[in-house]
Structure 1
């Protein structure tokens, strides 16, 4: 059935939707420069620690499970603009057939106090030709 509903709620007799005079087409505020936090679980990697919003000082334990090429689990810490300020890698207990535990101690003693994002990912050894890397993460506060 093809047709136009005349007189539908919010529509004038010409079928146009009535505009709300209080609404504006312009954005209400500038987009945030803050980078959104990746999820804590993905198909090939999970993040158990640190907890979302964890307060850390000097060092903290990062852990989870992953199935990443050659058991390599790269990680980084990003500042509020998304710039990587610290990076490293953990080694999972295995790879290829299931998710394996991984853990590492992260030294943040050289970072200024503030809010950061910890991100762990699967490794992409194909330079973008294969399955893209998956990321998990959590906001942390360095004290």
Structure 2
């Protein structure tokens, strides 16, 4: 088990055994085993996209692998990524140019709670008018705002 902690703006990944030892010497006082622990997949960057105008493609709990930013789609396309969302539920939506949702659904990740798990779904856009949209995938917040807020990632797409 690994735990991610932030120290002076820097993140550290610490194993449970090392965490216990470090707490014993005061190096991680209050850090190990707390409810705010964030699982981290070392193969996934949690840095947002470089493009300021595009929605972020990664956050701490969800990553969007496909569609690519600026992708042109028609008929249907596969959306995929990794997530750690309650009950493995990954809600998604497509928003029009005014930001209003015009299509929504959900995917199911292969797991949840301890790390980011792969998810994928097929999105049917055949009923949408041609144009520019934003595909958004997010984590679920089943606590009515009392738990961690939902995180979202996205990509601008063009529907033909």
The structure with the largest helix share of the pair is 2
Structure 2 residues not aligned, in runs of 5+: 1-52
Structure 1 residues not aligned, in runs of 5+: 1-35
Q: Which residue of 1 aligns with 2:129?
A: 112
Q: Distance in 2 between matches of 1:128 and 1:141?
A: 32
* 1:95 has 2:112 as partner: yes
Name the count of aligned residue pairs. 108
Give structure 1 regions of 4+ aligned residues with deviation exceeding 6 angstroms.
none
- Per the normalisation by structure 1, the TM-score is 0.74
Q: Distance in 2 between matches of 1:140 and 1:46?
A: 17
Q: Which residue of 2 aligns with 1:131?
A: 148
Q: Tell me by how many angstroms 1:121 deviates.
A: 0.1
Q: Which structure has the larger Rg over C-alpha atoms?
A: 1
Q: Counterpart of 1:126 in 2: which secondary structure?
A: coil
On the 8 A contact 2:131/2:159 being kept in 1, the answer is yes
Q: Which structure carries more relative contact order (alpha carbon 8 Å, separation 6+)?
A: 1
* 1:48 has 2:65 as partner: yes
CA offset digits 1:6-42 (Å, max 9, x no partner) = xxxxxxxxxxxxxxxxxxxxxxxxxxxxxx5420000
